Amino acid sequence: MKKNLFFGLMALVGLFTSCSQDDTDASPTADSNQVSMSIGMPADFVKTRASAPATFPAGHTLRCILEVWTKDGSTRRVRQEQLVTAGAANITFSFELADQGDYKAVLWADYIVSGATVSGDHYPDKYYKTDNADGLKKVTIITAAYTYADQLREAFAAVVPFTKGATAKNDLTATLVRPLTKVTIAEKNTEMIGKCKDMTATYTVPSEFNAFSEEVSPTATYDATYITTSMDGTDITINGNNCKILFSDYVFTTADATLGGIKLTFTGTGSITMNDRDIPANIPLKRNNWVRAAGNLITVGNDPAVTLSVDMTTDWVSQDATIPEVFVGDYYYADGTWSSTYTNDVSNPCIGIVFAVNADGKSGKIVSLDEPEANWNGNTNNVGRLKWSTDRTSRIGASSSTDGTANMTKIKAVAGYSATTYPAAAWCDAKKSPAITGISWYLPAVREMEALRDVRDPINTALTAASCQVLFDSERVNTYWTSTEISADNAQLVDRSVSPQNKKDYDFFGVRAISAFSKN
């Protein structure tokens, strides 16, 4: 469902307002240890959202955290968390601080799943881990929940130094800002979008933010991979050019910084062969800003150098965004519906787990619940493992690194194709069911299997809850075949950390089927 980027953030307008003048001028309370603080959002929220209805993104609510540390950061004296109620007039933290001295109030706000229940003083994290031993001094990306859906990974922070004297202190205020840059990469030549079947973007981002010092860790990083098979592209204007968005992301930033290089891999429609593209490093990043970079990135034939047009704005609300209806780790059912809860219903069985969600928020890819029970010749010593083929003398052209369906077409076209000659692909293909509309199982290409590997934690959690075999199990199957052929006698494998190649007919390795899906 389409929403403006500000839609899920409307609630924040009235939620974060300063204390009234009466509150500020009030006499100290009898409790001289009492401290209170009211917080507000960035100025662009107040300016652009004043008349909008208050709401949150579907399935989410906003959570705010306050920590109070001694000025030197050696001791944490206070930690509180609150959920923001849509339509509330303001939000205020109140706490006791007996010792006089110099302190820092550290604030953080982010989205978590609605309906979350507090455990102790902590609500379960969703996109950022905030309950490390160092608290807000070490906020880290939860890579298993990494999503490219606009606003869900948006977050806010602030630091307020203050001195606590002998009387109550009720005049503390703070304005939150984003410790992030929103980065959008777009295509200038909009006609090329229609010639492109899918795209993979790989790049590295900082993964750890110290909200106390307002610094990004120089050593903690995450290798992000964005994969889309929905290449319609949202319109955007960058420096006067009409462009199509390829993808957007939120990147931890302190003050001014730059982003490393981005590797783009495209697959053309039909027989079109497209060039891989390397976006050079040094795209500028600025905290609490939206950076938009556009260029002629989708190309065929002669491959000119990448030239980007970049602009930067503090206007975060003028672009349409998509709030996902389905999430990684959801259960996918035979009738084309999905749920975060597993139901063992024989009339509408669960057939897979969602491991990738496209930009439209309602299509993506699922992985099968099962693996082979025995290898291709029934030897139970290799449960879950099959050979790729029994032929290593012919290269069949299943060479796509991103499209397992294209590879499967090549494999199934080979004369003599059967479950004996191509066990891995045939096992996946045999799972197709005419009763399940739009589902056609296939052996994943290497990039698809790597994407599955990178989100295996939430997938394995869902598989375990459904009493199914987990992925990359070191005690059972740790390495999986892909449909990507390397040579006449080699095909690509994916294990926990690398993607080696191996002999097609020499060894038995794991097999897992995947399928694309879309909302009916």
pLDDT over threshold 70, residue 8: no
Residue 149 confidence (pLDDT) above 90: no
Rounded to an integer, the average pLDDT of 385-407 is: 86
* Residue 276 structure tokens: 């891989």
pLDDT value of residue 248: 93
Does the domain at residues 2-175 carry the CATH identifier 3.40.50?
Answer: no
β-bridge mates for residue 145, sequence order: none
430-436, long-range: CB < 8 A, 24+ apart:
431/368, 431/513, 433/334, 435/334, 436/334, 436/351
Helix ranges (DSSP H) in 322-455: 404-412, 423-429, 446-454
Per-domain boundaries in the chain: 2-175, 180-322, 331-518
User: With 90 as the cut, is the pLDDT of residue 54 above it?
Assistant: no
The encoded tokens of residue 280 equal 């050079």
pLDDT digit string (tens) for 343-395? 888 889 999 999 887 766 788 899 999 988 765 455 556 666 888 888 777 78
Output the DSSP codes for 453-518: HHTHHHHHHHHHHTT-PPSSBTTTB--EEEEEE-SSSEEEEE-SS---EEETTT--EE---EEEEE
What value, to the nearest 5°, has the Cα angle with vertex 337 and ends 371 and 150?
100
- Structure-block tokens of residue 488: 């006449």
Q: Which of 18-32, 366-380, 385-399, 410-424 has the lowest mean pLDDT?
A: 18-32
Residue 20 has pLDDT above 50, yes or no: no
Tell me: the pLDDT tens digits for 125-142?
999 999 999 999 999 999
Residue 121 has pLDDT above 70, yes or no: yes
Q: Is the dihedral of CA 113, 119, 120, 124 positive or negative?
A: negative
Give the mean pLDDT of the chain: 82
Q: 382 vs 149, which has greater pLDDT?
A: 149
pLDDT at 53 > cutoff 90: no
Q: What span, in angstroms and rounded, lies between the C-alpha atoms of 208 and 229?
A: 30
pLDDT of 471 over the 70 cut = yes
pLDDT at 298 over 70: yes
pLDDT of residue 456: 85
207 contact partners, CB below 8 Å, separation of at least 6: 140, 141, 143, 217, 220, 221, 222, 252
Looking at this protein, which amino acid is placed at residue 174?
A: A
Contacts of 131 (CB under 8 A, 6+ apart): 122, 125
| Closest alpha carbon to 459 in 143, 229, 144, 152 | 144
Q: Is the pLDDT score of 4 beyond 50? A: no
What's the pLDDT at 359? 64
pLDDT score of 195 more than 80: yes
CA gap 143, 147 in Å, rounded: 9
Residue 81, pLDDT > 70, answer yes
Neighbours of 383 (CB within 10 A): 16
Spatial neighbors of 376 by CB under 8 A, at least 6 apart, are: 386, 387, 419, 420, 423, 508
The answer to whether 484 and 197 have CB atoms below 8 angstroms apart is: no
Q: Are 131 and 139 in contact (CB under 8 A)?
A: no
Q: Which two tokens stand for residue 327?
A: 């999430």
Q: What are the tens digits of pLDDT across the range 313-338?
A: 766 555 433 445 777 888 999 988 88
How many angstroms from the chain centroid is the CA of residue 193?
23
User: What value does the mean pLDDT take over residues 170-187?
Assistant: 90
Look at residue 506 in the predicted model and tell me its pLDDT.
65
Q: How many CB atoms sit inside 10 A of residue 333's CB? A: 18
Using CA atoms, how far apart are residues 476 and 375, in angstroms rounded to an integer?
13
Segment of 22-36, 82-96, 382-396, 473-487 carrying the highest mean pLDDT: 473-487
- Distance, in Å, from the CA atom of 224 to the CA atom of 200, rounded to the nearest integer, reads 10
Classify domain 180-322 by CATH number.
2.60.40
| pLDDT confidence bin for 303, thresholds 50/70/90 | confident
Lowest mean pLDDT among 199-213, 277-291, 491-505: 491-505
Element (H, E) at 286: strand 283-286
The H-assigned helical ranges of 7-164 are 12-15, 21-25, 43-48
- Answer with the residue of higher pLDDT: 255 or 292: 292
SS3 content of the chain, % helix, strand, coil (to 5): 15, 40, 50
> Percent of the chain scored above 90 by pLDDT?
42
Is residue 422's pLDDT more than 80? Answer: yes
Beta bridge partners of 515: 366
Same fold, 2-175 and 180-322: yes
The yes-or-no verdict on residue 44 having pLDDT over 80 is no
